Structure 1
Amino acid sequence: MASSSTWAQDVITCDLCDNPTQQFCNSCQVSLCRGCINKHVESLKTQTHDIVPFKDRRELLVFSSCASHPNQKCEGHCQQCDVPVCFRCVTGPHSGHTVIDMSEMVQQMKEEIKKETEEIENLISRFIISGADIDKKISNLNEKFKTMEREGENMRKTWHKEVDNIFDTLQSTIRKMKDRRLRALRSHQSRLQDSGTKLECITKENKKILKSNKVSDATSYKSELKDFKDIPTDVDVKIPSLNINTVQGRELSIELGEYKATLTQTSLSSLTDEVSILSVRKLLDKAKVIVTISSGIKPLGAIICFGINEAWVQSQDKFIRRFDIHGSLKDKITTECKYYPGYISVTRQGELIYSDIQRRTVNIVRQGRIETLITLPRGWHPRGLCVTRSGDVLVDTCTPNGSHEKIVRYRGQTAVQEIDKDDCGQNIFKGGINGVLLEENNNGDICVSDLDANIVIVMDKTGRIRFRYNDQNGQFLRCVDDCGVLQGPAGLSVDSEGRLW
């Protein structure tokens, strides 16, 4: 029989033939044409038939025919045998069994089917929502792995740059060594040539005196031989050996005179000058002071190394001065600070930057001119500074009363990261009048000296705390090692060659 949804569109045909239907048997739920009415009644003589015009039809349950009794409809269900039964079955083989009306059973089953259908629909909705969530997770996963790939590529470039720096330095060192020795040889060669020329002139004059009969020529003669006897005829210019060694393909070490560099799978370091200002390569019981520099500045403030043999020094005045290892003043910057700069640092390009607490700015000195690099939001003031290997600037910022403190990472003039809470939502920094001093170590960790809390905090580059440290005896350790880990309150700094100032 055609479904009710198609009655308005399709011609309803007789269930016994292909002719259009005109009648309907309500008892059997069969569509009939006029020619098939008798055929239908004859085929089911034992049943009553309620045949009406098709438009007056009633939708009723259609019971199945009994397998044991032809022409009988199974209008009951035997609970004991779990089979459909007709009236004759009930009085026959199923006599005495519990039989329920098939209509009731169908109603119960439809209720169960309805509930199950609702559960299925709910399950489909959950699957659709979960599928959408998985789409988001796939998108996030792709984005995070793309980020990791970008970070890996950036790290590749960084390491390649570090390797290039080592070998650029090596080549520069080789050229400088060669130039110094060539100058020494050529200078001595020039001295020998000049001396030889002078000696040839003296020889000519002496031969003239030997041929002369004048007494005065002989008596006025003064020997100059002693001035030339001490001139060495040879000069020993030592050529250093270049030693390049590999250890099982995992480590490369280079040594040329005082220049040393080591490249491993996990670390890259470059050391020069075995004689340092302060030796911190080994853990010493007592620090060995190599050179003491008198700057004439009282009190000394922040110190940041510049190149190999120079450092910028900040004090409680408007000036930032640059001294060399011999104590000579090489440069002097007059800042626009109302009182004095908050802190100083140096970019990877060697440009000096300093914080101006009152103006809420971080300024940079370029070719002797002062420019504003970063302006902090209203209500926040900059203090400690650190320039990372990637070129970002880490700024210790605080509210005017010092009650709230955070480290902000700036990329150019844009703040890209704020660090102030730990994983539990607690303030990482105590806050107060002193603030924090910060540095990035060779692992890319952010090392912070919280002067108000008397503690050292080491965080990874995401701001997640790795560990905290303070001295067991209450004597606060503010400078940790030779990796540029920490700037101490007395203006400690480690230069690019691993020397502590």
Structure 2
Amino acid sequence: MDTRLSAQDVVRCDLCETAIIQMHCDFCHVKLCKPCIGDHIADDYNKHQIVPFQQKKSTLIYPKCATHQTKLYDLQCKECNFPVCSLCSATEQHEGHKYLVLAEIYDSKKNDIAKDTEELQNIIYPTYKEISNDLETQITNLDEEYEKLTTAVTEHGKQWHREIDNVINTMKKEIGDLKEKHFDIMKKHAEEVIQIQTLIDQTLLNLKEIEESNEVSMKMKYSSRNKEFSKLSPKVKVSLPIFNAKPADREQLKKFFGSLASLYTSTEENGYKLKKPETTTRELLEEPELITTIDTGYEILRSVTCLSEEEIWTSGEASDMKCFNIQGSLFKTIGRISGIFPNGIAVTGDGDLVYSEGKKGTSTVYKVTNGQTKKMIRLRGWIPSQLCVTSSGDLLVTMYNDDETRSKVVRFSGIMEKQTIQFDKEGKYSGNHIIKYISENRNLDICVADCEVGAIVVVNQAGKIRFRYTGHLPTIFTFPMSLSEIKLQIVNVLYFPINVLARFQKNHVEGGTNS
């Protein structure tokens, strides 16, 4: 058997191809046995670097100079941007030129290649993998999502069928009532006619008896009633009710039944973001990172809340609420029941919009599901301000009383009041400022921005105060603000928690401070 063809054969000398290798030329990258070393270095002893095979290392292989055949390129002319050898650098062509060492360029390129490889492996490829997985998930969920849409239409159709059945049954009952009334009228008239017929029958019997009698007195007393009977009673005419059927217009029916919004497709130039390298500690930005600017069109902006990473809801002192994508394009608009602007907005885990509005006397929190607005919570004596939906699905509402002397935070589970947090001057937040923005952090603490006392107050789930933050804060929007300020302030609202609330955890929570 030819051992050179065996999969288990040892590495052989590159020159004789029979002996087992013992040495290595680091200059030529050739594997050698000891007997072949002399033949290998015969051309130029000084240039070769013969070492034991176990000690081999990677030696740079420079290209040969095209002008000077015995030399290798080892420099790069900065002016000509071309590799040269030591003899080339001394020629008039390169007189006064500056040079870079090829070995240094090699090391720099090697580092660049290592960095690019690491970026491709750890950032770019995982990002594409994540995008691919996300698209596969979306495609997989298409059947389920469209099934939900079909189910919604079917359920809406059942509701319409029930209402149509109710209308039909109501109309049938009305027909029955009309029939009974018609019957009573005709029956009464028939009884009157029968009564007259009975009188006529009796009169005919009397006439026959008088006619057959020979008594003069009976005939003398006879008085005719024919004139009385000849005066017929009025004819009663009752017309049957008529059913005025509306034409079954399919297009008109579809218009009232509902409509499907067209597929919304957009191409976002910077829609995907590269994954950031994972680190053990979260870096805090000294300055908010500007992602985009959005012109809301509101003269006075009041609230911003995220529907997703790509969509945000906004509200201002206007009669509608607007949903924008992250590029600033208007995606959806919802009008409200009453004419006053919403005090605060929030988004539930199901993507439903919740908003509050009110005035002295009666106030309401509304919920918008599939375009249908329904009353969720009614309040008397208290006016709801800002809202927050917690990770558990509860609704946190900041509110103030009608005379604006007290304020509190109330937790609702559905429509039931679950918890009330109201602070006093001794140990908890106070103040009657009507605007108090509220949020839940990752520790499930409740964070309230109290503008009047100049602090962000944080309490745990039980309502026990953990700490106040009164340190230096970035500029926060004030009301009212001009239209020109809104573009920048939306960015502040969106990214304010990344900087400030993260500092709360770093400076207070992790350090155990409850100041």
Higher helix proportion (structure 1 or 2): 2
TM-score strictly above 0.5? no
* TM class by smaller structure: 0.3 to 0.5
Q: TM-score, normalised by structure 1?
A: 0.42
Q: TM-score, normalised by structure 2?
A: 0.41
